Structure 1
């Protein structure tokens, strides 16, 4: 495995948690930075884990390059997420209680991993990402999500992830029995928006921020 096992942890210790959030950083990013985003998510009681990519990148070229041109790094990154999910399962956290958050290159990797391994996950949040490959190989996606909620947030335009690829990804996820919410923000830039985190709290974690308000 080219990517070394390098997991950063936050939140509740895995051995004590009933749910887990896996957070996948973007190109040039650090696990510690993506972990900080969880401060804005309704994940009290969750174990929060972020793998660190070798040399801060999961694969060398654009996610829309021919898949073979990003090998063997792409397969190694997918293997890394599989290892992490398996470890969580072995420590008593079922896949239906595992959630994913990915940004940019990390969002692309996250979507590719969960779609190749589709099952009932807790939920998936993808900020500016899409399924990987010059042409999406739907033959890689053999199982279904069993109504897993998946939030896709993106900007139109975005310098790295065309909005058409995000929309195509949403269509494929729907065919795999995911419950998809897609939000396209005009000229928002290549960033994580507060509006996206708020919507993810509501759609993925079932939190509207209104519980303490009086009727």
Structure 2
């Protein structure tokens, strides 16, 4: 049986999030959503409401670090790195974003949720943070143990960052967590970045949109692969 639906009291006060309950009183899945750099949890909370997933309770997390220099919004990384005049999405996540995810997942599992009932949806830096967490921590049991994997990851314009210290070191230790990797032309999801993800995760499906940049889905055509992707045979799909 799935665990107890999370509420605001499930997590410590250091975690800022908006919880979008499932239309059903006994949801089968938890979807954790992570915004990109310079945003808050509200945008993805609205996304979760519009998706209206019938068997899924959604947790839209706010990144734990404010941006410096008076910039608006929050970040998942410990520091800010600039590429020219732009903020880099890639940085160190261990003591910020990855620690936040570790706390959230631990609380969910303490409430009775199994790792395979927990899904992640990340955009930009949020997706990089998810990969950082999974590469550093995974679950609390070896990745080769059946059932140790999470339900799935949807990454919009996210890659495995350059600063990650991964425990997924060889073929035997690859993660069984399924991954859907989405991106456009001239973005972060290059062939090299895709190969890096595939070297760490066994089940990776890539969707390349016919447009420049790795922004969020623009229309129903781009959103369809995200909605129909089979995350794991035992879970089938995120309900829609």
Same fold (TM over 0.5): yes
Q: Separation in 1 of the partners of 2:228 and 2:211?
A: 23
Would the aligned equivalents of 1:130 and 1:165 in 2 still touch at CA under 8 Å?
Answer: no
The structural deviation recorded for 1:207 is 5.7
Would the aligned equivalents of 1:41 and 1:201 in 2 still touch at CA under 8 Å?
Answer: no
Residue 37 of structure 2 is aligned to residue 27 of structure 1: yes
CA-atom RMSD in angstroms: 3.0
Q: In structure 2, list runs of 5 or more residues that go unmatched.
A: 1-12, 67-73, 82-87, 139-147
Q: 1:141 aligns to what?
A: 168
Q: Separation in 2 of the partners of 1:162 and 1:149?
A: 17
Would the aligned equivalents of 1:127 and 1:152 in 2 still touch at CA under 8 Å?
Answer: yes
Correspondent of 2:108 among 71, 85, 88: 88
Q: SS state of the match for residue 96, structure 2?
A: helix
The C-alpha deviation readout for 1:52-107, integer Å capped at 9, x for no partner, is: 1132111222244xxxxx44x54221010000001111111111100000000101
Q: Tell me which of the two structures has the higher relative contact order, counting C-alpha pairs closer than 8 angstroms and 6 or more residues apart.
A: 1
Q: 2:5 aligns to what?
A: none
Would the aligned equivalents of 1:21 and 1:100 in 2 still touch at CA under 8 Å?
Answer: yes
* Distance of aligned partners of 1:35 and 1:188 in 2 relative to their CA distance in 1, 3 Å threshold: farther
Q: In structure 1, list runs of 5 or more residues that go unmatched.
A: 65-69
Q: Separation in 2 of the partners of 1:154 and 1:40?
A: 22
* Distance of aligned partners of 1:208 and 1:116 in 2 relative to their CA distance in 1, 3 Å threshold: closer
Q: 1:185 aligns to what?
A: 209
Would the aligned equivalents of 2:32 and 2:118 in 1 still touch at CA under 8 Å?
Answer: yes
Q: SS state of the match for residue 194, structure 2?
A: helix
Q: 2:155 aligns to what?
A: 126
Q: 1:58 aligns to what?
A: 76
